[in-house]
Structure 1
Amino acid sequence: MNHYAGVTTTELRQLEYFIAVAEELHFGRAAKRLGLTQPPLSQQIRQLEDELGVRLLDRTNRKVRLTDAGRAYVAEIRQVLARLQAATETARQAASGAIGKLVVGFVGSATYDWLPPVIRRYQDVCPGVELILREMPTPAQMEALLSGTIDVGVLRTPAAHPDLHVRSIRRDECVVVLPVGSVLAKQDGVYMSDLRDEPLVLVARSIWPGLYDSVVTLCRAAGFGPTIRLEVTEVQTAVGLVAAGMGVSILPKATQNVHARDVRYVSIKGQAPVVELGLAWRREDDSSVVQRFLEIAQD
């Protein structure tokens, strides 16, 4: 027997008993269908009629028929039960995170490998959720999370705030992006010290502070201060400017999935900059939709 939120078991039982009798027009068949004996079924129908103050059925020794009130009542009850069933299913889906709305912020570089399969898997599992994606740099995601503009951030760590959970989900070593015509591009790998005389095209610190600081720190550890020729806001822009001969860049290995002519990705020998991708969400947010996305994203 189905159970619906907001209706007591007794009330629901009486309604379902009445529908069975109304459809069978025979107490014996209705009782068999319900798995009951006839006397308690007759008692429940009498009780329902007493509560309503109307006669729903005409009974004789030979047959049962609906009164006008009974016909009107059964038509309404079918609609009520259908709506209750739909409401109960909706509540259960919402509790499991299967329906609702989810706004996810993401850094563009997450789309090179990690994010697309996660989004596909999430949409397969939760097709009833309205998923909204917004590309934004890590600092903007932190602000959007705190203001409630987005629900989950896919961002670059380190990033921290006392009101947010931030969890690292993967680490990527960086490579050097070189113009194909450069001497270094012909090598199987380069050391950071090999970049001493190379102008750098970096993603701006305001956009990706972790990568920027790591590159500067490792250059200084290699014995030189980096010459930063250009700072850009997009990874694709950095690759394009390297192709144009404006310098070299240091970017995550996953960037190799971005097709660009006239550049070569070369591994870094020795210590290379490492970047992390993380998930962030509000500490007080116990939304089932958010928790379901986090489960799938970390599976």
Structure 2
Amino acid sequence: MEFRLLRYFVAVAEELNVTRAAERLHTSQPSLSQQIRQLEGIIGAPLFLREKHRLTLSDTGRTFLPAARDILASVAEALAQARASARDEVGTLALGMIMGPEGLVLSNLLPRLMRTAPEVHLKLRTMTAPEQILALQRREIMAGFTRGPVEGDDIAAEIYTQERVVAVFPDTWPLARLERVPLGALTGLPLVSISETIAPAVAALTGRLERLGGVVFTKGLVTESLMTSMNAVASGLGFCFFSEYVGDVVPKGVVTRPLDLDPAPTLDLLFAYRKDAQSAALRSLVEVVRESSPYRLQGGGPGGAPPAAADRPPRPGSARPTRTPPRRG
């Protein structure tokens, strides 16, 4: 059945006059009458009762009219949604973001984006790294700031920045008096870790540090989020490892210290995006991200899958000054 036949039927049913319906549809009366007869042939029953000077709906027509209206309304709504989506694609992007480095990324990225591509608007979605990869595969987001591993031939990933790893523990511990913490000093203390299903890169960090230091940590509480880990540490349940940005968000009574390792181990923050998404908004975002990338600005490569952070030699100019947070009491 052709979609236009429904429009013709609804117009005649509402006007109950073929001449007025033809004017409303901007077609001729004979053509409209022929289309109605074609629809009646498809249904196998008359839709109208035709008297000498009067047109009324048959029982079949009265039954069919609400369904025809619903179909037309559904199609109109679908078209409106598709057009709205097309407008959004011009300048709006859904962007995934892991919890934690939002301030670091947005304070660096948004001013540049507003200056060079003001037509691009971001819809931020806080998601775990695995959730972002799945959302990219499903096209629910077009780009995101995440951690590895990034899998899939349809997804590109580039290093945005490399964050130095720090130890996080209560400020009442004797270790808080040190500027740099040896890994051996943490053995025998309970390690608060994040579930591998939530943050696989952070979970894998423990094994990497154990290999670097030739130590084995005592496994303690496993959490589902950054803030739960922070609160567990604040409660004296152990220590954890994170990127140094957490120094700005740790709760009262918690301190961060760099590790006594050279080169300092790092975690890669990646910018991932769909390779086949060619909207102007995404192209603009990729350009701005590359221009603002601390990794590139410090002499890093164009992106891709680098070797493990702990195995890379330090790059000239990449070392950050040691920051010793004040004691919190």
Instruction: Please give the TM-score of this superposition, normalised by the length of structure 2.
Output: 0.58
AA of the residue aligned to 2:221: L
| The one of 240, 248, 265 aligned to 1:273 | 265
1:286 maps to 2:261: no
Map 1:214-233 → 2, pairs under 5 A: 214-233=205-224
Following superposition, the deviation at residue 156 of structure 1 comes to 1.1
Q: What is residue 152 of structure 1 aligned with on the other side?
A: 143
Report the structure number with the largest CA radius of gyration.
1
Measure, in 2, the Cα distance between the counterparts of 1:115 and 1:131: 11
Question: Are 1:141 and 1:155, in contact at CA under 8 Å, matched by a contact in 2?
Answer: yes
Q: What is residue 137 of structure 1 aligned with on the other side?
A: 128
Please say which of residues 244-253 and 222-231 is displaced more in the overlay.
222-231
Measure, in 2, the Cα distance between the counterparts of 1:282 and 1:238: 32
Question: Are 2:91 and 2:280, in contact at CA under 8 Å, matched by a contact in 1?
Answer: no
Partner SS for 1:103: strand
Following superposition, the deviation at residue 177 of structure 1 comes to 0.6
Following superposition, the deviation at residue 99 of structure 1 comes to 4.4
Map 1:201-280 → 2, pairs under 5 A: 201-271=192-262, 272-280=264-272
> What are the Cα deviations for residues 105-162 of structure 1, in whole angstroms up to 9, with x where unaligned?
0111221412333134324544444421100011110110010000101111342321
Higher strand proportion, which one? Answer: 1
Kindly tell me the number of residue pairs found equivalent between the two proteins.
205
Q: 1:123 to 1:99 in 2, by over 3 A?
A: farther
| The one of 82, 89, 106 aligned to 1:115 | 106
Measure, in 2, the Cα distance between the counterparts of 1:223 and 1:148: 42
Structure 2: gaps spanning 5 or more residues: 1-85, 292-329
1:103 maps to 2:94: yes
| The one of 144, 153, 174 aligned to 1:162 | 153
Question: Are 2:143 and 2:271, in contact at CA under 8 Å, matched by a contact in 1?
Answer: yes
Measure, in 1, the Cα distance between the counterparts of 2:277 and 2:100: 26
> What are the Cα deviations for residues 72-123 of structure 1, in whole angstroms up to 9, with x where unaligned?
xxxxxxxxxxxxxxxxxxxxxx9xx994221000111221412333134324
Q: 1:131 to 1:223 in 2, by over 3 A?
A: closer
Partner SS for 1:108: coil
Q: What is residue 76 of structure 1 aligned with on the other side?
A: none
AA of the residue aligned to 2:248: N
Question: Are 1:98 and 1:128, in contact at CA under 8 Å, matched by a contact in 2?
Answer: no
Measure, in 1, the Cα distance between the counterparts of 2:143 and 2:105: 15
Please say which of residues 225-234 and 168-177 is displaced more in the overlay.
225-234
Following superposition, the deviation at residue 191 of structure 1 comes to 1.2
> What are the Cα deviations for residues 23-63 of structure 1, in whole angstroms up to 9, with x where unaligned?
xxxxxxxxxxxxxxxxxxxxxxxxxxxxxxxxxxxxxxxxx
